[in-house]
Amino acid sequence: MKSTYALSLLVSLLFLTMYQSFSQSRPRDLGVPFGILPAGPGNAITDVPGVKVGQLTKIEGQDIRTGVTAILPHGGNIFQEKVPAAIFVGNGFGKLAGVTQVQELGNLESPIILTNTLSVAAGIEGVVRYSLAQPGNESVQSVNAVVGETNDGYLNDIRGMHISPEDVLMAMRSAKTGQVEEGNVGAGTGTVCFGWKGGIGTASRKLPESMGGHTVGLLVQTNFGGNLQIAGVPVGEKLGKYPFKDALEKSDGSCMIVVATDAPVLERNLERMAQRAMMGLAKTGGIASNGSGDYVIAFSTHEGLRIPHSIPSQRLQKAEFLGNDDMTALFMAVIEATEEAIINSLFAAESMVGKEDRKIESLPKPQVLDWILEKK
């Protein structure tokens, strides 16, 4: 009897240890391959020097499952020291505030905020208040707040509009370099991806010195559908969750993608980098369906390309930047990091119960890993 109990206890402990390993480890640590370029030291958007990320997660009662994720291009006054930027619209069924000014002027003058669809207005107010309060901005009367969203209304009481401008301010003020939490956090708290629990994901690539030595970092808010593929394995088909098969989770949804780099790249080639992020999304099985809002925001933190808010009239601007022939490695870095960031969001996310007692399960990682490792 004692030996049976001991064996049962041992099996339980082994299962718990394996579960904790799966839930705490990122896919590449478990043997999932992602391209050929090396990741940065933290495999996160914050590997790009100066980039900071802050998150506010709001889980209250049975119905509130939402949050805010803030990305700051650098730690200074972003309005006074704007950065080159571009936006690419993969599919425009969404609400991205501030897009036209970035496209027109080719620069970013505020933190980037990600939240839920009906909280974009709160995001704008939070960014404006944050910017107006910055020392040096006492005379500022216009701020182009860039705020993106996905719809977390399946798990979250989105009509309650539970995100306030103060929440947005808290996310920005908490922004820091270093490790970025993934999964059910920030703007990814209530999201659903490929029929499984989605969330926030991040990844990076560090180019070898022969290719410039630059860093590319990605952050994604995953809330979209399609036919999930991981490392070439048709996971969606194997698990029976894909468009036109699963009536609960359709292919519509959205994905916000933020690309950062320290490479000296101006807005035209930043847009080309942003375009490649959609290739990374496609590698995971995303299809940018009719009802999907898929936006990519790309910016460069290179100090030599900063755009001062006030420039004397007729003064010529000088800048050194990469030419077209040097972009290929950066394109590959974006594709690989986008793919990995999306899969990271799925591996980090945990099952969640939300509005109206609805439940979204997390990706069954042990089964998925078995398929991937078998293929290798």
Of these residues, 292, 300, 345, 362, which one is catalytic? 292
Q: Which two tokens stand for residue 25?
A: 């480890």
Q: What angle do CA 15, 16, 18 make, to 5 degrees?
A: 65
Report phi then psi at 181, rounded to 5. Answer: -70, 145
Identity of the residue numbered 311: I
Residue 252 annotated among the catalytic residues of the structure: no
Of these residues, 110, 251, 254, 362, which one is catalytic? 254
DSSP labels, 283-317: HTTB---TT-EEEEEEEE--GGG-EES---TTPPP
Contact assessment for residue 94 and residue 136, using Cβ atoms and an 8 Å cutoff? no
Q: Which two tokens stand for residue 240?
A: 């029976």
CA distances from 214 to 47, 133, 262 (A): 10, 33, 6
Q: Which residues contact 52 (CB under 8 A, 6 or more apart)?
A: 46, 71, 72, 74, 75, 175, 176, 177
Residue 294 annotated among the catalytic residues of the structure: yes
The C-alpha atoms of residue 228 and residue 347 are separated, in whole angstroms, by: 13
The C-alpha atoms of residue 258 and residue 270 are separated, in whole angstroms, by: 11
Q: Which two tokens stand for residue 363?
A: 């990706």
Element at 374 (helix H, strand E): helix 365-375
The C-alpha atoms of residue 338 and residue 246 are separated, in whole angstroms, by: 25
Which DSSP state fits 230? B
Of these residues, 47, 157, 262, 294, which one is catalytic? 294
Q: Which two tokens stand for residue 156?
A: 């979250």
**Residues recognised as catalytic:** 254, 292, 294
